[in-house]
C-alpha cells in the first residue's frame, strides 16, 4: 500500500525527491499463468534503466501494464509520487509515457513527418500545417543528432531498422514524453544501427528523459544503462545502479534468479529488491 515513500534505493533522491515511475506489488495473471508476481520497481527521471530477464520472465508484460495495454491484476502504479490508473495507451500518453515496441507502430506508406504527427496533426484554419510539422520533425531529429535520414518526406517503409527506431523515439520526444519505454530496440539491428540507437538512448537521458529499456544484449545494457532491474519468472529479483553489477552476476541472476548467490555481497548493496515484504 505504501507508495513511493520507501525509496531506499541509492541514487534516487535528486530533483523532486522520488522516482518518476514507481511500481509496487505489480501482479499480472493470464488464466493460470502468473506472468508478474509482486514487482516493485522505481524508475528515476533522467536515468536509463535496463530491464533484463530470460524469455518469458515477464518483461513485455511489465511494460504493457505501464503502457495501458494490460491492467495489472494487483498492485499500484505511481507517477511523480501519486498513484495513477493507466487503463489505456491514451492514459499513458497523457502522463508522458511513450512506448516504442519492437514491431513499431509506424505506417510504412506514410512519410516521416506524417508518422511523427499521426493522430496529433497540426492545423491552421482547419488545414494541415505541413510547413510547421516538417520544420518541427526536422528539428527534433536534428536535436537528437539523427543525421542519417535523407529526407523527412521519405516513406518510413524505406528506412532501415535503426532509422525507424529513431523516428519512433523522435515522435515520443516531440510529444514531450517524460518516460520512453523501449522493448528490445536493438534486437533486429546490425552493429552500426545498434550504435546509433544506443547513442539515441544516451541522448534521451541527457535531456532528462527517463528510459526503461528491455534488452537481451548485456553488452548493450552495460554500455547504456545507469540502472538495471532483473526479472526472473515474474519476480523482480534484483535492481540497482549498474555499477553494482557485472556480466557474470547479471547472467546468474537472469538464469537462476540469484538463488545460488544469496549473500555473497558482491556489490549487492541495498540496491537489491527481493520484492517481498
Ligand X SMILES: Nc1ncnc2c1ncn2[C@@H]1O[C@H](COP(=O)(O)OP(=O)(O)OP(=O)(O)O)[C@@H](O)[C@H]1O
**Min separation Cβ 34 and Mg ion, Å:** 16
Give the count of residues interacting with ligand X (CB under 6 A). 11
Write the interaction track for ligand X spanning residues 17-56; mark x where CB under 6 A is met and - where it is not. -------------x--x-x-----------------x-xx
Classified as helix, coil or strand, 169 is helix
Report in angstroms how near the CB of residue 126 gets to ligand X at its nearest.
41
- Output the smallest distance, CB 59 to Mg ion, in A: 5
Q: Is residue 61 part of the contact set for Mg ion (CB under 5 A)?
A: no
Cell digits for 136? 518541427
Select the residue interacting with ligand X from 38, 44, 58, 240 (CB under 6 A): 58
Q: What's the rounded Cα separation, in Å, for the pair 156 and 112?
A: 6
Residue 60 binding Mg ion, by CB under 5 A: yes
Q: Does residue 163 bind ligand X (CB under 6 A)? A: no
Euclidean distance between CA atoms 167 and 264, whole angstroms: 44
- For residue 146, the minimal CB distance to ligand X (Å) is 26
Applying CB under 5 A, the span of 57-65, 122-130, 145-153, 203-211 interacting with Mg ion comes to 57-65
Instruction: Return residues touching Mg ion (CB under 5 A).
Output: 60
Amino acid at each position: 500500500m505504501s507508495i513511493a515513500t520507501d525509496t531506499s534505493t541509492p541514487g534516487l533522491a535528486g530533483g523532486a525527491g522520488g522516482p518518476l515511475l514507481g511500481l509496487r506489488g505489480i501482479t499480472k495473471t493470464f488464466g493460470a499463468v502468473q506472468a508478474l508476481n509482486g514487482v516493485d520497481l522505481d524508475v528515476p527521471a533522467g536515468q536509463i534503466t535496463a530491464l533484463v530477464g530470460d524469455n518469458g520472465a515477464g518483461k513485455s508484460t511489465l511494460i504493457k501494464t505501464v503502457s495501458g495495454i494490460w491492467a495489472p491484476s494487483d498492485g499500484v502504479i505511481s507517477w511523480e509520487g501519486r498513484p495513477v490508473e493507466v487503463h489505456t495507451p491514451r492514459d499513458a500518453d497523457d502522463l508522458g509515457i511513450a512506448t516504442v515496441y519492437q514491431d513499431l507502430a509506424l505506417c510504412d506508406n506514410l512519410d516521416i513527418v506524417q508518422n511523427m504527427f499521426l493522430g496529433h496533426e497540426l492545423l491552421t484554419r482547419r488545414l494541415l500545417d505541413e510547413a510547421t510539422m516538417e520544420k518541427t520533425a526536422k528539428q527534433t531529429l536534428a536535436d537528437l543528432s539523427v543525421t542519417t535520414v535523407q529526407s523527412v518526406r521519405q516513406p518510413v517503409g524505406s528506412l532501415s531498422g535503426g532509422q525507424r527506431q529513431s523516428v519512433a523515439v523522435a515522435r515520443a520526444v516531440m510529444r514531450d514524453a517524460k518516460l520512453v519505454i523501449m522493448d528490445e530496440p536493438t534486437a533486429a539491428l546490425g552493429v552500426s544501427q545498434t550504435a546509433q540507437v544506443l547513442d539515441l538512448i544516451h541522448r534521451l537521458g541527457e535531456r532528462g528523459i527517463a528510459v526503461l529499456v528491455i534488452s537481451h544484449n548485456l553488452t548493450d545494457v552495460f554500455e547504456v544503462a545507469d540502472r538495471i532491474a532483473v526479472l526472473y519468472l515474474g519476480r523482480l529479483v534484483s535492481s540497482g545502479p549498474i555499477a553494482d553489477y557485472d556480466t557474470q552476476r547479471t547472467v546468474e541472476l537472469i538464469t537462476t534468479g540469484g538463488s545460488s548467490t544469496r549473500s555473497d555481497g558482491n556489490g549487492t548493496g541495498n540496491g537489491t529488491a527481493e520484492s517481498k515484504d
